[in-house]
Amino acid sequence: MTAAVAMLALTAPIVSAGGADDDTLTINGDLEITTKAEAAPHLDGHLDEVISGWHFRSDETQALEMDDFDNPGMIFVDQAIDSWNTAEGSEDKSCADCHGDPEEMAGVKAVYPKWNEEAGEVRTLQMQVNDCRENRMGAEPWKYDAAAAINMEALLSSVSRGLPVNVAIDGPAADTWEKGKEIYYTRYGLLELSCANCHEQNYGNYIRADHLSQGQVNGFPTYRLKNAKLNGIHSRFKGCVRDTRAETFSPGSPEFVALELYVASRGNGLDVEGPSVRN
Amino acid sequence: MKLTGLTMAGLLVAGAAFANTVVPDEVSFGEYGAVEASLSGTEGNADKGREIFSTKSMGNCVSCHQVSQLSDVPFQGEVGPPLGGVGEYRSAAELRGIVANAKMTFEGTVMPAFYKTSGFIRPGDGYTGKAAKEPIEPILSAQDIEDVVAFLMTLKEN
């Protein structure tokens, strides 16, 4: 072995140790995003610090998220603004007719998934939007994680950027949260891997060419360079479960709603960052 | 298909190899997880093992392990320990046990079991996301495991 190769072999693990870099995320020069925070008490013994997936991406990918003109996800936010203002359904009403400007929704994304008292269930943002479409507009519901739905989620997320994720896990949401937690630690598929095996035990490590993050969802929807579109939380979950050579759950399924609540709660304290940019 | 003498001979060889194969549920692990007897009854081929180790659709071991001797294989992972010298301090029986089912050697390990066909939660059909077809095939065959073990035994200089 040559000296140069030996050096490389020695330094490789040191360079990647810890994994997350020390960069800071500021969007459009003035919107500071909290991308590292003390872990919530419910993560005691599991994580000390929670870290946004942004820290595990290359400088080039990171830069795309720092200016709305560079962030390809913002094109879809613009499309959602049109949709926000378009009257639809038997009631011929738009989102704007009832909710005003999208900015009125600042803070909403940060607390979802959330318990809905009348429905007696935990709802994701997409479920809530569909409830308005079906029951208040008389319009067709959007398919889960389909373009129209994900674009609207990106708009609702964009107006909450810089506000801390603060998902409630107690009270009536507790049962769903427990169910999500159980899924998070279950070792699925022929590879018998849980979310925690990769995102809790191994974040910062490379798994083949991928730099493992904590698998946080504060950045969703994410624009991925890989498929050049906005990606939903449940679609990402589906991909990760599939990669364990398992039978997956479907976007919008009760399992993924519960898992979203649980994973979102692991990011309590991080700022909403979507639409983010990932590879 | 027309059965020529050649394919007949092939079938007979395959049948013979199969007769010596230990099926996944019947592998006998020692107290510390080692497997003494060959799984296929046929000696492993280190070159073949190298390919299985490095190829995504096969063992895909490089996603988690670095091996300095495989400098031509890009993107070696860091989830498991580097294996550059593993043939020096591990016996073939220990390696066979680790590759067949690492959980018998390292309790609760992240490393998947490559020769196992039962006890899974929501087993899938490859990477399709759909339910596995019965009967479930192990990720690697008995001979694949022997080939990988033969390859690991060559990893001495570090």
The CATH number of the domain where B75 resides is what? 1.10.760.10
pLDDT at A12 over 80: no
Q: Residue B63: its chain A contacts at CB < 8 A?
A: 207-208
pLDDT at A157 over 50: yes
A241 has catalytic annotation? no
B40-45: long-range contacts at Cβ-Cβ below 8 A with a sequence spacing of 24 or more? B40/B141, B40/B142, B40/B143, B40/B145, B40/B146, B41/B17, B42/B17, B42/B143, B42/B146, B43/B146, B43/B150, B44/B143, B44/B145, B44/B146, B44/B147, B44/B148, B44/B149, B44/B150, B44/B151, B45/B147, B45/B150
Query: Which residue from B113, B125, B127 is facing A192, i.e. has the nearest CB?
Result: B113
Annotated catalytic residue, options A27, A106, A163, A240: A240
Q: Is residue B107 domain-resident? A: yes
Question: What is the average per-residue pLDDT within B118-136?
Answer: 96
Whether B7 is covered by a domain: the verdict is no
Residue A6 has pLDDT above 60, yes or no: no
pLDDT over 90, % of chain A? 92
User: Does residue B102 sit within a domain?
Assistant: yes
Residue B16 scores a pLDDT above 90? no
Residue B76 lies in a domain: yes
Domain span holding position B140? 20-116+135-153
- How many CB pairs (< 8 A) connect A and B? 91
Which has the closest alpha carbon to A65: A101, A109, A116, A28? A28
List the one residue out of A227, A249, A245, A222 whose CA is nearest residue A237.
Answer: A249
Asked whether residue B6 is domain-assigned, the answer is no
What is the tens place of the pLDDT at every residue in A232-248? 999 999 999 999 999 99
**Is residue B109 in a domain?**
yes
Q: What local confidence, expressed as pLDDT, does residue B20 receive?
A: 83
**Which domains occur in chain A, in start order?**
36-277 (1.10.760.10)
pLDDT at A10 over 80: no
Dist CA A19 CA B61 (whole Å) = 21
**Residue A197 structure tokens:** 């095996």
- If one counts the domains in chain B, the total is 1
**For position B138, what pLDDT does the model report?**
97
Quickly tell me which residue has 């087993």 as its tokens: B123
pLDDT tens track for A117-126: 999 999 999 9
The residue ranking higher by pLDDT, B20 or A138, is: A138
Is B33 within the bounds of a domain?
A: yes
Contact by Cβ (8 Å): A149, A235: no
A201 neighbourhood in chain B, CB within 8 Å: 110
For residue range B106-116, list pLDDT tens digits in order. Answer: 999 999 999 99
Does the pLDDT of residue B6 top 80, yes or no?
Answer: no
State chain A's mean pLDDT as an integer. Answer: 94
